[in-house]
Homo-oligomer: A and B are copies of this chain.
């Protein structure tokens, strides 16, 4: 008789029934007449209990010697089991070895991070990494759902870009046929500005690249970023959007993963539950004051690094928005504050608990004349921006947007120290393998 082939995260629908599970041996222990086989199939882990009296002596003996990660088909009866994290176990009636694994390189003992990163293709099979990547999936889906539900059009930005908008020092260069060179995108923003004029509300979401020579726990050379852009939107509305968006993501992650965050990642989820609207909003000026009061030697005009961000963020129980930075610190396309043209209408969202900036954005300059002056002041090649200036020539409107980095968001929500675990195959200065 053909048994239903079932995934472990769906066994609850088959209580009392015989099923076939297809997976890998994650761990095992034995006690006399019983083998307790931890079987994983990617959707979950189940304890398969093999009683000596239920199977042939040969099979019982074989099961005692199976190596970790041996692939198996296990057949048996789904039984409720209140003690197990899953709530169910499998009473084994039969087991078929698909392929025997010997000396699997990642054992339950501790391995160094370099070793694990070198074995990333296998490390992904561990429960902790499985949970992190599934949380990442939930975050990426929440991001798309949020914008899809709110009338945004997905407009994929190109990866190949023709010229360096803000200096070439952190750009990856690619020889490109007879056209010379192309650069790998650092941001789709300029394209999203064009798209916002065509579709009103848009977002792009894809990999972006930064050839930065920094080996910190917050940097990858290849990372995913989502960038919404909205025509007729102002800075205040941009902050409203960022706030609402972050709350939506955090809520979704808690709904789907609270148990795993606590039990597998040991995340203090009370810190995530306090992520509710409204977020505190402070000006850059107030941020400087707060830093100085906290004994930090920051002065007006300084940019914020990880240290400053942490000091500021630690003063709040939820993300804090810092807005109106000195224009000199910001890119040419920021609109200036009409009350004080030394200030740019930019804003950053800093995550709590030392995770730093997860969102950067603001309102863009919509005047052709002002923008041309800014391009000249920044010594940028005007001809590279001809198409971008067209957006100010033909029906220019106020507009704003932001970018959110996926990996930092995953690190924050999962409570991870380093971003290298937040992406399936991390790329860093010193790593492009496996």
Interface residues of chain A, those whose CB is within 8 Å of chain B, are 7, 9, 22-25, 41-43, 69-71, 98-99, 101, 104-105, 119, 121-122, 124-125, 129-130, 133-134, 136-137, 140-141, 144, 148, 151, 153-162, 172-179, 182, 184, 191, 194-202, 206-207, 209, 211, 213, 221-222, 224, 231-232, 366, 387-388, 390-391, 393-397, 423-425, 427, 429-430, 432-434
Smallest Cβ-Cβ distance to A124: which chain B residue: B198
Contact partners of A206 in chain B: CB under 8 A: 206-207
Minimum C-beta distance from A239 to chain B (A): 18
Residues of B within 8 A of A42 (CB): 153, 196-202, 231
Contacts A162-B432, A397-B71; is A425 near B41 (CB within 8 Å)?
Answer: no
Complex interface: chain B residues within 8 A of A148 (CB): 141
Please tell me which one of the listed residues B104, B105, B124, B200 contacts residue A7 in the complex, with CB atoms under 8 A apart. Answer: B200
Return A186 CB to nearest CB of chain B, in Å. Answer: 13
Contact B395 A99 (CB under 8 A): yes
Min Cβ gap A52→B in Å is 25
Once the chains bind, are B101 and A393 in contact (CB under 8 Å)?
yes
Nearest CB in chain B to that of A433: its residue? B162
Minimum-distance CB pairs A-B, first 9: A42-B200, A387-B434, A42-B199, A71-B395, A121-B194, A124-B198, A101-B394, A69-B395, A137-B154
Q: Which of B133, B222, B390 contacts A155 (CB 8 A)?
A: B133
What would 17 A/B residue contacts be, using CB atoms closer than 8 Å? A41-B200, A99-B396, A99-B397, A104-B395, A119-B390, A124-B195, A124-B198, A125-B198, A129-B198, A134-B199, A137-B155, A141-B144, A144-B144, A158-B425, A160-B221, A206-B207, A387-B433
Q: Is the CB of A397 within 8 A of B156?
A: no
CA distance A173 to B184 in the complex (A): 12
Contact of A173 among B174, B179, B432 (CB under 8 A): B174
* Contact between B427 and A160, CB atoms less than 8 A apart: yes
Taking the closest CB of chain B, its distance from the CB of A138, in whole angstroms, is 9
Which residues of chain B have C-beta atoms less than 8 A from A199's C-beta?
Answer: 42-43, 124, 130, 133-134
Q: Is the CB of B433 within 8 A of A176?
A: no
Contact B71–A396 (Cβ < 8 Å):
yes
A222 to B160, CA, bound (A): 8
A157, A184, A425: which has the most chain B beta carbons within 10 Å? A425
Residues of B near A182 (CB, < 8 A) are 432
CA–CA, A196 and B43, complex, Å? 11
**Quick one: which of B9, B70, B134, B423 contacts A395, CB cutoff 8 A?**
B70
A99 proximity list for chain B (CB < 8 A): 366, 395-397
Task: Find out whether the CB atom of B207 lies under 8 angstroms from the CB atom of A23.
Answer: no
CB distance from A122 to the nearest CB of B (A): 6
CB distance from A253 to the nearest CB of B (A): 14
Does the CB pair A154–B140 fall under 8 Å? yes
The smallest C-beta distance from A391 to any residue of chain B, in angstroms, reads: 7
Please give the distance in Å from A9's CB to the nearest CB on chain B.
8
Q: Which residues of B contact A24 (CB under 8 A)?
A: 197, 395
Query: Which residues of chain B are within 8 angstroms of A43 by Cβ–Cβ distance?
Result: 151, 199-201
State A71–B434 Cα separation when bound (angstroms).
51
Q: Of all chain B residues, which has the CB nearest A398?
A: B98
Residue of chain B at shortest CB distance from A204 = B424
Instruction: Report chain B residues within 8 Å CB of A173.
Output: 174-175
B-chain residues with CB within 8 Å of residue A200 when the two chains form the complex: 7, 23, 41-43
> What residues of B have a CB within 8 angstroms of the CB of A125 in the complex?
197-198
Residue in A23, A121, A161, A391 with the greatest tally of chain B CB atoms within 10 Å? A121
Known: A124-B155, A141-B154. 12 other contacts (CB 8 A): A24-B395, A42-B153, A70-B395, A99-B396, A101-B393, A130-B198, A137-B153, A137-B154, A158-B222, A172-B175, A177-B213, A191-B424
